[in-house]
Amino acid sequence: MKPLEGIRVLDLTQAYSGPFCTMQLADFGAEVIKIEQPEIGDITRAWLPVVDGKSPYFTCINRGKKSITLDLRTEKGQEVFLKLAETADIVVDNYRGGIREKYNIDYEKLKKINPKIISASLSGYGNWGPMKKIGAFAQMAEAYGGLMNLTGFTDQSPVKSGNSAGDLYAGIMLVYGICMALYHREKTGEGQNIDISMMDAVFQTLEAGIINTGLTGKSPQRMGNRHPSGGPYNCFKAKDGWCVIGTPVWAQWHSLCRVIGKEEWIDDPKFANHKCNKQNEDEIDAQINEWVKDKTRQEIEEIMAENKITFAQVLDIKEVMEHPQTKAREMVVEVDDPSFGKIKMQGVPVKMSLTPGSVDASAPGLGQHSEEIFAGIGLSEKDIREMKENKVV
């Protein structure tokens, strides 16, 4: 049995941040009913490439869900949604501030019909504050949240994360917010409102940058692949690709000195501590680059493992998918999809001994489960037909 079996989620989210949250709830057994705009659906359904009306982007983060269409701009759509909410445990949205109130589905209205309901809202900047009505995608949240200015190299422009970190951080925080709210409800019987801002989520991940800025009055700046707390810690070019070497533990630094033929550095006052190493980082990195350039990544990995120095090969996605560790952790799973056939996607990273999650189905077609879900809340075939005629569904 999965831990969230029996939990019904009404999923009003689209794009990435919200669907990434509800995907994880589905992986662990929740019934996630994705509510989409009639005829259009989630905006990512149109993101290229599209096969038979289905996008791989949409598919990877909407697996295991059910889909219905419902136009919340209409009075009938709102009426039907509130009837659905009577049967639900959680409502998740990623609307801009003010939209829930506009559609008459804000927490105050939801809790009147279902006091145990958990309303979980994710937006660019949250549901209060001067920016509450402004929309955002991941890159805007990374920019406003301080992450983008830290990413990239000193002499170049700021760079967004390689993936949509602004979405991912917020989606993960919404998952644990929902789980904490469920635990609170289990103890008290009370539902509650959850508000997640993508900007807040990004800001929360800035490590010691906040404390250091408060103490010094100066903001940390971009430093490429180096680490602000010491060195060496960087990306180096081996014979067959890139690798990462870092020695945050002082004993590892001494081991590295021996490995690269610079044992004399161990007793040299010039390299006496992390601060000294940081001041002489260019010299250290140059020596490491010289040492790695004629060796393969695998050769370097074996040497580093033998000497207990932290190391990683920089892998592309295909290499990660084929890596023995990825396979051992079952992080690539194969799923049947009506549009794509057998497809590979990420497995479940949270490994639980008694109640593991799993990927049981691909993403749904637009409105695939509408009649099933509407019939389940007492709507007749005539009701559903009339809603279709009026483009409510």
Cβ-contact 54, 340 below 8 angstroms: yes
Question: How is residue 228 written in tokens?
Answer: 């602000």
**Count of other CB atoms within 10 angstroms of residue 108:** 10
Query: What pLDDT does 53 receive?
Result: 74
Domain boundaries in the chain?
Answer: 8-205+328-389, 233-315
Instruction: Give the burial string for 194-211 (b: 16+ CB within 10 Å, else e).
Output: bbbbbbbbbbebbeebee
> For residues 170 and 198, what is the distance between their CA atoms, to the nearest angstrom?
5
Would you place residue 165 in the very low, low, confident or very high pLDDT band (cuts 50, 70, 90)? very high
Query: What pLDDT does 320 receive?
Result: 98
Question: How is residue 43 written in tokens?
Answer: 């905006």
Burial class (CB in 10 A: 0-12, 13-18, 19+), 6: exposed
- Geometric angle at alpha carbon 74, from 70 and 77, rounded to 5°: 35
Would you place residue 229 in the very low, low, confident or very high pLDDT band (cuts 50, 70, 90)? confident
The fold of 233-315 is formyl-coa transferase, domain 3 (3.30.1540)
The phi-psi region of residue 50 (left if phi > 0; otherwise alpha if psi is between -120 and 50; otherwise beta) is beta
Burial class (CB in 10 A: 0-12, 13-18, 19+), 334: exposed
Reply yes or no on whether the pLDDT at 180 is more than 90: yes
Spot the catalytic one: 27, 71, 106, 167: 167
Q: Per-residue pLDDT tens for 203-227? A: 999 999 999 999 999 999 999 999 9
DSSP, res 310: -
Q: Per-residue pLDDT tens for 8-64? A: 999 999 999 999 999 999 999 999 999 999 999 999 999 999 887 789 999 999 999
Reply yes or no on whether the pLDDT at 134 is more than 80: yes
Element of type H or E holding 258 = helix 250-259
Query: What pLDDT does 76 receive?
Result: 97
Reply yes or no on whether the pLDDT at 289 is more than 80: yes
Tell me the β-bridge partners of 349: none
Tell me the β-bridge partners of 343: 335
Query: What pLDDT does 231 receive?
Result: 86
Query: What pLDDT does 51 receive?
Result: 83
Q: Quick check: is 93 catalytic?
A: no
Give CATH for domain 8-205+328-389: 3.40.50.10540
Mean pLDDT rounded to a whole number for the chain = 97
Length of the chain: 393
